[in-house]
Structure formats: structure tokens, C-alpha cells
Structure 1
């Protein structure tokens, strides 16, 4: 265990958020340790869709979720699934979600997501440039396609809503889609192209490169589990499965697992739940698409990566304890059938499931509490990868107690005390 005299900040969580924050803090002269029971990047950061989703400024749920609730409970393969056994535990979270769909709350959520997303691409470009790995991100846009002529009205309405939020978006005809992605089926009627987005060639490799840069700055990575924590007159005392660690400050950035330690240190119970996400990796399909493509009707995304084509998406509410239903991952391949001129190969395919940390207002918590002893960076739902670099900048700002600078979002929207 590191000596308490050699640690300024302990970061709990070695996913993309925690690692990016650790690197930022180390570069600011802080002595940092990162604590996680898994190797860095082996949680949700390992298997996300790889899409830099700056266009996704709207929360996943809207008022139509009430109409979809019966299907969520009854269809185990549906794009939005609620395990009926988990319903009693999920119900309070869903009630909060519904309250946040009221117009004023919904507008606050959209403004908060948009503020982070507007700065995310630039923050990532600067971060990757600083570690001399800019090639890990392709900032060549993404595409939302539709197949049914009757979907055109809804797609047009979505384009208008996005334009109202200053999201760069272009309508592409079927001809434009075929020219850019010729392997897609002729059934595709057109789509929305988002030039301000991009995709990562390997999200896990991005974490590894950030870890290497953090190591070079003196960051230590401890493969340990934090069991409990308490505030002390001089900082924070953490108890791990390998002994105690005392630090001046702690940053809680362990995603869907953040609620327990937050409650122990702050006394605040946060309504954190997990949207379980699945992917299916197709190693023999690396060249099918030039950029990430999402299906409007089928509601999943396909991202080309160094290791193949990753099919990802779906939302499942079933908590942290229930085993994965990998049929949901294989369902992604069934959803892809008919989208291409020739069906995708599943040879060597591997399924995966991970936990997205979600709060009922779809905004993360990025905050400094308990007289500065506790920092918080979790709850980014589907946008953890997208918002990691800008979150790290904001945490660095909070540690130095700077007045928020104009290039970064206003911190007020992401405060812990909103709950």
C-alpha cells in the first residue's frame, strides 16, 4: 500500500472516466493512485459502442416510455427491457425518471447533456494529441439510417429538434447513403449524417494508452476493492481488501458501483441504477462500414473497429447482480439481417455485457463536496466514453478550485445536491 504521505488523491474506478481524470490530476502535480478490483478498462469501458456520440443530446427516455412499459416487461429481446423480477427495485428510479420528463426538468437535462457534448470532441482531440495517439479517434462523423418510407416524418422531426439544439446534422438521400456506405441494403431510404461525431478504433486500447501516459506521470494503479470509507480531519480513510489507505482527497468514479461509497462519505443516497448494455463483436467484418451507423427502426449501432465490426445497443434494467442474458447480444446480429446486401458473418463472434451508470435525470454527477475531500464523476449513462475527456478537465478544475472557465460547461447542472 502507498504511504499516506505519498498520496494526494485516490481515484476509485479505473474505467475511462477514472483513468482520464487520474492523468489530468497527475499533470496538475497531484500524487495519484487509482483503485479498482479489475484491471483498468475492464468494466463498461471495455465493451462500449465506441461511438463519440456528441449528437445524443436527448435522454434515452421520453413520455412514450409509459406506452412501452408493457412491452418492456414482456419482451425479453426488446430494445428497452425491464426484468419483471427487478421491477420492485427499479420502480422508485422510474418514478424519478418520469418526474424528470416534465417540461422544465427535461429542458434542463437536454441543456446539461448538450453542454458536455459540445466540448467533448475537442477535449478528446486535445487529450489524444497530448499522448501522441490522435489516430485512435476517427472524427469522420456517423450516420442514422431509416428503411421504411413512413419513418421519414419522424426522421425529419428529429432533424428539426437537433437543429434547434445546434447539433450539426445533414439529411442524406438514399443515393448519398449508398455512395458513402455501398454495402448497406437498397432498402435504406436515407438518413441523418452527423459531421461532429466520430468513433474510436478500440475503446479498450484507448484506456490502455491513457494508463501508460498516467504511469509516466507517476500514477499508481492498485488492483484492490474498496470496502468502506470515512472522512477524517485531514482527508479520507479508505479500507480496501488489502488494507487501509489514507488520502487527502478521493475521487469516486466507479460507474454503476459508485452509490455505496458516495453514501458512506457524503451521507447522500444517490438514485443510481444501471442500464445493462450488450455488444456482439464480429471479427471478420472490419471493412463493412466507413463510420458508425445506427438504425432508426432497429435501434442499434454498428461501429467499425480494428478488431472487427461491433454491434451494440439495447437497454436492460436488471441490476448489478443478475447474470447476463447473452441472447440479447446475439439478437443484435438478427437485427442486422437485411440491413446489408450480404448478411454479416458471425464466425468467431464474441458477446459481452456491461453496466452503464444511469441517474434518472440522465445527467452525470461532477462535483466537489465535503470541504473538497470528496470529488465525484459518475452517472454518465450512455455517454461515458463521449464525455470522459471533458469530465477530466472539469475535475481538474474542481481540484484547483478555479472559477469555471468559459470553454467548459457550467458546473451547477451536475451537482450532487440536486438529489
Structure 2
């Protein structure tokens, strides 16, 4: 790999020897590493802090799908009818652990409040504004780090099996057309021409030509890390305990060092961002976590050419270089409860009937990770405290999709310029929660 290396001081780079870095990025997931790479291109001294090695959090186990077609919030009005089932069915696609319900209730109340027509449409507009530019941003970023081969731009399918689902699918297609999402209706036979191992149960579906997938999410992060390090970025495994903003910048207290100072800080630690955000900004953010599961099938390389989502079964199957990844389901149980890996194994059961022959689960590995979720389904991408605190978190299940674009926006904000990618950043401002 020949990463592009930028040298020379940025106009705002500091030479103060008492300042450990121009910018500290808290979080070494896909968004944090993409931000570090973008900031290093400006000649800034960047340090990335995370309690885990880069890419080992939610970024490691995501579905790998560049979900540019998903412009609608995580829930709609139908969620009200689903609440009893969410509490009673531990294996359902949308699960609320009854023990977590008292803590989750304020978040769900805000989610339901955001289902009113005006805020719901504002969320759709905000998601769409990011998604429609996300793939192009990924192309630029992966070209810059000589890793475009990790991105497969061949579209994806949403398929259905039951005849009575055709009406639901058509309604979804119409809504997507209204939002200018590229979408095509395909017959079951046409889908099997592309993915011949899918069963005859598939009646038809939607094809999204503007989507893509990555063949190894962790390798994407690793490529960014290597290129960022070539630009002088330092990655440290360290937990940030607290911090405060002062006249000189930001001081952070970590678990294994004396206080660390920086001119600016980027908060990009996903579902773990709420506490630090409150400390650094004074604003309490209604951030919760969608616990997502995957099951990796190492003996199923080549089973599918592109990502396929089941409408009725509500999960996705993505081909990767290490096998076929089955992912999906949403569980609200917070950050502390242990993973329920039966939910990961349930994904294999959900796949039964979708293929001409059953998927081989030999040596399969389950996984669970935390997706950071806000009740309006929009991330926080902002610059506050006179530009000393930059925020980049809350992307729920679109973290991978929106990471490269978010990094470009953060780099613009760090240079105190208006975003060149998204004309209006107001939907993503922290102030919407103040």
C-alpha cells in the first residue's frame, strides 16, 4: 500500500510543547479512524485514544453493507403495536429487555414523539442528505489509502417470500422513489439469475443499484490506521475517564497517564460517548444503544454475490472474504448486560428456506456489538465550545455508511470552515438536545 502522506504545518497547528496534540480523537472505530485520517491530511498532530485496539468495537462486526438506501428512521408508527411482542419474544427481530425498560422508557418516549409528521420528515431529510453523498466519500477515502478493492459496488437486494408481502414492498418502493433513492423492482427469477443459490421461495424484491458492501470491515479500519500512522497519527490504547475545556484547549484524564492536553478533541466513541459529551459540553444527550448481533459462516464463501436482506425475516446476509455474515436484529438492553448469543445463532435459523440448500454453520462464530442510537435517528456532527470540541457519534446502524462523509465534515469543522459536503448541518447539531 502506498498511502498518501501530507506534510507541512496546518495554519492552525500549534507549536506549544505543553500541548500533546493538535487534536485528540476519542474512539478508534470506523468513524474515529476516518476522522483521524482526514485530520492528518491537514498536517495536524493527531492522537487517537481507545480502550480497545482500532476497529475492535462495533466497527468489527457490522453487516458490511453501505446502506445508502436506508433513508428512513429506525422506527415508524408500527413500533407502538410491536411493543408487547418486543418485551415477550427474546428472539424477535426487535427486542426490549424488560429489565432495561425503566431506563429505556425516556428514550422510547422521545422516539415516539419524533414519529409526528414534521420531525419524522425532518429525520428522513437529514438521513438522506448524508446517505446520498456517503458512497462517493468512501470512494475518495479508499482511493486515498489504496484500498478501493475492499469495496464492492454491485448493489444489494431486499427480497420477499410471501405473496401478501408484495403490497408492503411496493409501498416501500414508492416511498423510496419519492425520496429519490435509486430502486428497481425485480422478479424472483431475475434475482436468482444473479444469485442462483437463493430458493424458489423468493417471489421477488427490490434491487438498490446505489448501494455497496465491504468484504472485510476490520480490514477497512486497519487500512485507515496504517495510512494515518504514515501521516504521523499516533494510536494509543487508553480509556478517557473525564476531561474539561479551558482557555488553552481540552485537558483529558486517562486511566494510564497524567492529564493529556490538546487544542481540540473529537468525540467519536459511539455508544460510549454520552458521559464524556456531558462532561465536555454540559449537555445530557439521550444516547442509547441498539445491540446488534452477527453470525459469521466461514464455509459459505461464494454463496451470494451481493448483500441480500429478507423483508419478512428482517436480517441481512453479506458476502465477505472470510465467509458469509448474517447480521441484524435490534436489542435494547444497555451497555452492561452480557450478550445473549442465542440471538446470533437465531440468524442461522432465520436463513433456513432462503437457499436451495441449508447454510453450513460449522465453525461459525457469533458476535455482539453496540450501535449508538439517538431517538431522531440522526447523528451528532458538530463543533462546539469555540471549536475546541468536535462531535461525531450517534450514527446507529449507519455508522459504516456515513463514516467517510462524517470525517470530511469534521475535517472542515476543525479548519473552522463551513462543510463543503452538507450545506446545512443544523439537523446534526448538538443544540437540538439543549
**Fold similarity call, TM over 0.5:** yes
CA RMSD of aligned residues (A): 1.0
Distance 2:63 2:81 in 1: 27
Cα deviations across residues 290-344 of structure 1 (Å, max 9, x unaligned)?
0000000000000000000000000000000000000000000000000000000
Give 1:410 shift: 1.8
User: Are 2:61 and 2:368, in contact at CA under 8 Å, matched by a contact in 1?
Assistant: yes
What TM-score do you get using the length of structure 2 for normalisation? 0.95
Distance 2:418 2:50 in 1: 31
User: Are 1:47 and 1:279, in contact at CA under 8 Å, matched by a contact in 2?
Assistant: yes
Cα deviations across residues 128-150 of structure 1 (Å, max 9, x unaligned)?
01111110000100000000011
Q: Is the aligned partner of 1:138 residue 2:152?
A: yes
Give 1:6 shift: 4.4
Give 1:403 shift: 2.4
Distance 2:221 2:336 in 1: 25
Distance 1:97 1:122 in 2: 30
1:91 corresponds to = 105
Q: Is the aligned partner of 1:195 residue 2:248?
A: no
Distance 1:192 1:3 in 2: 57
1:415 corresponds to = 429
1:27 corresponds to = 41
Cα deviations across residues 244-282 of structure 1 (Å, max 9, x unaligned)?
100110000000000001100110000000000000000
2:392 corresponds to = 377
Cα deviations across residues 57-97 of structure 1 (Å, max 9, x unaligned)?
00110011000000000000000000000000000000000
Unaligned runs of 5+ in 2: 1-15
Give 1:409 shift: 4.7
2:298 corresponds to = 283
1:180 corresponds to = 194
> SS state of the match for residue 235, structure 2?
strand
Unaligned runs of 5+ in 1: none
Distance 2:137 2:419 in 1: 16
Deviates more, 1:21-30 or 1:322-331: 21-30
Give 1:401 shift: 1.4
Distance 2:424 2:227 in 1: 28
Q: Is the aligned partner of 1:233 residue 2:217?
A: no
- The runs of at least 4 consecutive aligned structure 1 residues that moved more than 4 Å come to none
User: Are 2:20 and 2:260, in contact at CA under 8 Å, matched by a contact in 1?
Assistant: no
Distance 1:5 1:227 in 2: 19
Distance 1:188 1:14 in 2: 40
Q: 1:175 to 1:246 in 2, by over 3 A?
A: same
Distance 1:131 1:288 in 2: 29
2:71 corresponds to = 57
User: Are 1:116 and 1:409, in contact at CA under 8 Å, matched by a contact in 2?
Assistant: no
Distance 1:81 1:6 in 2: 44
Say which of 319, 323, 330 aligns to 1:304.
Answer: 319
1:17 corresponds to = 31
2:11 corresponds to = none
Give 1:175 shift: 1.3
Give 1:101 shift: 0.5
Q: Is the aligned partner of 1:356 residue 2:363?
A: no
**Aligned residue pairs, count:** 417
Distance 2:147 2:360 in 1: 31
Distance 2:419 2:346 in 1: 44
Give 1:404 shift: 2.9
Say which of 280, 302, 310 aligns to 1:295.
Answer: 310
> SS state of the match for residue 339, structure 1?
coil
Q: 1:409 to 1:49 in 2, by over 3 A?
A: farther
Distance 1:378 1:122 in 2: 20
Distance 1:176 1:84 in 2: 43
Distance 1:163 1:415 in 2: 28
Q: Is the aligned partner of 1:313 residue 2:328?
A: yes
Distance 2:197 2:336 in 1: 40
> SS state of the match for residue 357, structure 1?
strand
Q: Is the aligned partner of 1:259 residue 2:274?
A: yes
> SS state of the match for residue 57, structure 1?
coil
